[in-house]
Amino acid sequence: MEIVKSLFLSIWLLSFGTIGYLYFALIRKLPSGTAISSGVYARYTVFSPVWWIGLVLCLALGFGIVGRVHVKPIIWVALVVTELLPVGVLSLFLILLVKVKEAAR
């Protein structure tokens, strides 16, 4: 169970870290109403060494925190509820990608 909690905390850290990273690197600098290509998101995430380093750091932090600190169950419930935001954003993004591919045919 400790491995599952560690992985969940790591994913939670990575998802909110990625949202913050994309906001400060991309979205904050653009004028309102500007569209961003999915390739730009890919370059800032899976093709970026900085993002992969962040993934490794989030995994290390997740395993380190869960291994050393006893976390109350209410904290895990709060993490699950707050993780719904990044999951919703990712789901919306993937649905939009599918719709764009269908429209391009």
Sequence spans of domains, the chain: 2-104
User: Do 21 and 89 touch, CB atoms closer than 8 A?
Assistant: no
User: Do 58 and 14 touch, CB atoms closer than 8 A?
Assistant: yes
| The two structure tokens encoding residue 36 | 């961003």
pTM score of the predicted model: 0.85
User: Do 51 and 45 touch, CB atoms closer than 8 A?
Assistant: yes
Which residues are within 8 A (CB) of 17 and not within 5 positions of it... i.e. 6 or more apart?
Answer: 54, 58
Closest CA to 69 of 6, 8, 7, 10: 6
- Tens place of pLDDT for every residue, the chain, 105 residues? 899 999 999 999 999 999 999 999 988 888 988 888 888 988 999 999 999 999 999 999 999 999 999 889 999 999 999 999 999 999 998 898 889 889 988
Query: pLDDT value at position 36?
Result: 86
- d(CA 69, CA 85) in angstroms, rounded, equals 25
